[in-house]
Structure 1
Amino acid sequence: MNTDNIEIVLVHTSSPGNIGGAARAMKNMGLSRLTLVAPREFPAPEATWRAASASDVLNSARIVDSVDEAIADSQFVVGTSARGRRIPWPVLDPRRCAERLAVSSRTERVAILFGREDRGLTNEELQRCNLHCHIPSHEDYSSLNLAMAVQIVAYELRMWGLAERLPEAADEDWDVPFVTTEEMTRFYRHLEETLTDIGFLDPAAPRQLMPRLARLFNRVRIDDMEMGILRGILTEAQKSAGKH
């Protein structure tokens, strides 16, 4: 993905605060190219303070008079849409849309259009787009703040940009080796002995206690340091019970 080829376009934005919030969302996710189509008020102090440390995105924003001018140099255009249209159009959610944009941005200039706060993009503007992006918000309250919508799309783009650098599993970069199956077997034996010693487990009526505890511990991966802590707790419990 080439973020230099990705442009966020805000169409006829009425609130300067939303412009600042969108700029901040963009910088959070590594995007910098912002185009404003006929904003009602800009520059504005509210945009500046809402942007926080993303004033550089605001200062470099391009201001144009029309959507046609904003996307004239774009080769792939996506329009965000909150509702269905009379004429069916290719529609993707932000995650799948980001994948498409990430691929296109390697060699093409792409633009993502966000419409007016009160009514979004017009049918005519959406018809200028190659693809529509729909954020599937909850039906009880489907209205999204403009800056929030920008944040969602920008985040999904960021995740695609990081795809090759993020670990595929949560424990891929763990700092301590995980215990072996044999060590877990010894732990379960020690656990059973301790529970018997403290009177919690009755060997004559075990009530599936150990299989359930095994299922509990097997839902997570235990590393060497954690195993040392667990075995130490069991040993101290046995000492307190006078059984060590």
Structure 2
Amino acid sequence: MSDLHTARHRLMNARRIAVLTGAGISKPSGIPTFRDAAGLWQDFDLEEYATPSAYARNPQKVWEWYAWRYKNVLQAQPNPAHALLVELEHSLGEGFLLVTQNVDGLHRRAGSQRVVNLHGDITRGRCERCGQRFPLPAPQDFTPPPPCPACGAPGRPDVVWFGELLPEGAFERALEAFTACEVALVIGTSGEVEPAASLGRLARHSGAYLIEINPEATPLSPLADCSLRMGAVEGLQALMARPPG
């Protein structure tokens, strides 16, 4: 029995599945990844745009950059990989959890409901005073910084910057799903950013069948029961293909 055939069988028969996605799943939607040759950080210094100190120095500069990214994200559309994960969620219900490192909101726009956003959501603001999260206005109506709808204080981007803690409870929920799942599916992530990178390892060590979909080998690859050297769309289509007949 081939690795792919075994992986399909395990996925089809699992009652508890945990999924981790990274930038690779959004690349077919036209959103650049962080690490490849045309990646987002090739032209921008993260110290100038994605740290608390950068925001403290020049909040307007940081907001203008995030407003530009927000507009680009809303122009992108979910791709077939997002849709296939929605299908998988529908088949499992409460036995499914999707954990994403992405901030683009494409999983929810595709229809995913059981989603943990480890690194926040670029389509929302977060109040600097009271902490309330709120959706940003449509790009054509948006002049940063957005006021908090509850107290009127300025809002910051609702994303996790380098050096910040994850949203309260987010990693705990992810950890619970990955240590209890029967199948762990890791898609389009470098396997280098902690603590998300540890989820696949923890699932494997807890007895889960581990499937990785990534065009390139990652630190997780030696542990994977099945590694598909494909993009997210091709890999999920191969994994979830219906048997003939």
Give the number of the structure whose alpha-carbon radius of gyration is greater.
Answer: 1
Q: What TM-score do you get using the length of structure 1 for normalisation?
A: 0.32
Q: Which has the higher contact order (CA 8 A, sep 6+)?
A: 2
**Greater strand proportion:** 2
